[in-house]
Structure 1
Amino acid sequence: MNWFIPREHGAWAMLIVPFLLGMLASNPLWLHLPFFIGVVAFYFASSPFLTMIRKPNLKKEIIPSLIIYLSIGSLFTFPILFIIPEIIIIGFLIIPFFLINVIFAKLKKERLFVNDFCAIIALSFLVVISYYIGNRTIDLRALILMVINVLFFTASVFHVKTLIREKGNQIFLWKSNMFHGFTVVCFLVLAMPVISVVFFVSSLKAWFMPKNKRYKPVQIGLIEITNSVIFLVIVGIFF
């Protein structure tokens, strides 16, 4: 049986980092663990589901793993939803962004920047959900954390695309450099110097990594994972 395990390094970071950010910024509880296991299972389910959208002829091969992932996800998340039903309301906000991903999968245009951006927003809601599990409230702090997460991973997508799919595209490279610079200045203006420093450190790779060099996906993945860990640790401790 094909398990359709997601292989994208960036997507793993986009799933794990926002959940841990929300947990660290609130009050870590035992409820976070089963809910996170369920979220990971649902994330696993998205891979066979989107594959089925792209390739309906593989439906029989896909359904077994899809059912297993959905069952595990339901087993671990539904009890938490019963205890904290307000999470369901937040979940409804994710649906439009996921539907956009489904549409792009159907059109086989998943590599477009707008599709990545919608996925980032959808996964960034995990900041708010995890925060709510710990604090039972959604305040300005939680929303700012979510925005920070969106900006961080948007910058990451800009950078990775300049090394692979938009390699040699000077206009896209210019947009990437400008966006990274914007994040640094933005948090300085907002009097959040620690966050600004985090984005500055992240921007260094975007500004100074040679763009004419051919990188292996695993090299880019390891750099982005390291960058994500630094981001999580610093923001989680100092925010």
Structure 2
Amino acid sequence: MQKIPLPREHGAWVMLFTPCILGTLLAPQIALHVVLLYIAILGAFLARHPFIFLLKTRTHKNREAQRQHMTMWLALYGVVSMGAGALLLFAYQLTWLLYFAFAAVIGLGLDTWWHLKREGMSAKAEYAGVIAMSLSAPAAYYVASGTLPWQAFALCLLCILYFGGSIFYVKLKVRTQPKAPCPVSTLQKLRAGKVNATYHLFALTLVSILAALGTLPLWTPLAFLPVTIKAMWGTFQWQTKQELNLMRLGIYECVHALVFSVMIILTFA
């Protein structure tokens, strides 16, 4: 019996629901029909896996049984997602969702394109996915409250900056460090992790500038301080192949995402 197709990237689940939850909780009021948005987003997210599989195997006649199975689930996920979205559009007149959906489709389309070119694990493909999923923050804010202030888009920006950093950190700890001997000097470690370190310092600096200008709440940079410390520490604390533990790394990322979420809620609330 074939299994239900589910995404294998466990971190993607955190990236999917964190922006949505933040947008919902920070909205001035919460309408019950926001549940429909969660259903629509979940359906679209689940549909991505069978959709990519069908595109990759479109010329593989020996995998027809698998293709039929994936087609069935793609149709099911698609009907659920579009049905929930249609209710929000037509029953509740939340027409701005069309713009969010269009932007998300572009981001996920780029991600799918890079998957077909065997670049699905590249930073650019994953970052496109992060942008698409972060759009759920303003979408949830809009559906929950019926309003769409700057705060909703600020949440989207912060989620993009935060989860974008996770991409570079995980690649450093999983792909770069375990495949090379531990450098002797600190400068060599910094060179190996320069993308990770530069990105996190840039994100913290940008958020600090926006907070100083009054565009973001004053204490917003504090939400990025723990993850920046983690990124810098991880750059210099070399991880060998023997020390690599994907489950432990995943748990650490979930904990940091939780800390980030709580601090954002406290800052904006």
Following superposition, the deviation at residue 118 of structure 1 comes to 0.7
Distance 1:215 1:197 in 2: 29
Q: Secondary structure of the equivalent of 2:39?
A: helix
Deviations 1:122-153 (A, max 9, x none): 11111111111123232221121111110000
Report if aligned partners of 1:195, 1:235 keep a CA contact under 8 Å in 2. yes
Equivalent position of 1:199 in the other structure = 224
Are residues 204 and 87 of structure 1, via their aligned partners in 2, closer, same or farther at CA, if it must alter by over 3 Å?
A: same
Equivalent position of 1:178 in the other structure = 198
Quick one: which of 208, 211, 219 aligns to 2:238?
A: 211
Distance 1:106 1:181 in 2: 32
Following superposition, the deviation at residue 171 of structure 1 comes to 4.2
Question: Which stretch of structure 1 is more off in the superposition, 208-217 or 60-69?
Answer: 208-217
Question: Which stretch of structure 1 is more off in the superposition, 75-84 or 140-149?
Answer: 75-84
Amino acid at match of 2:255: T
Q: What are the ranges of 5 or more consecutive residues in structure 1 without an aligned counterpart?
A: none
Q: Secondary structure of the equivalent of 2:175?
A: coil
Equivalent position of 2:24 in the other structure = 23
Matches within 5 A, 1:5-84: 5-26=6-27, 27-56=29-58, 57=60, 58=63, 59-82=67-90, 83=92, 84=94
Q: What are the ranges of 5 or more consecutive residues in structure 2 without an aligned counterpart?
A: 181-188
Please, what is the CA RMSD of the aligned residues? 1.9
Report if aligned partners of 1:19, 1:130 keep a CA contact under 8 Å in 2. yes
Per the normalisation by structure 2, the TM-score is 0.82
Q: Secondary structure of the equivalent of 2:193?
A: helix
Equivalent position of 2:266 in the other structure = 237
Moved over 4 A (4+): 168-172
Deviations 1:156-209 (A, max 9, x none): 111111011233486451121121122223223332553211111012222223
Deviations 1:71-110 (A, max 9, x none): 2223333212222232112211222212211211211210
With a CA cutoff of 8 Å and minimum separation of 6, indicate the structure with the bigger relative contact order: 1
Per the normalisation by structure 1, the TM-score is 0.92
The percentage of counterpart residues that share the same residue type is: 21
Distance 2:89 2:140 in 1: 12
Larger radius of gyration: 2
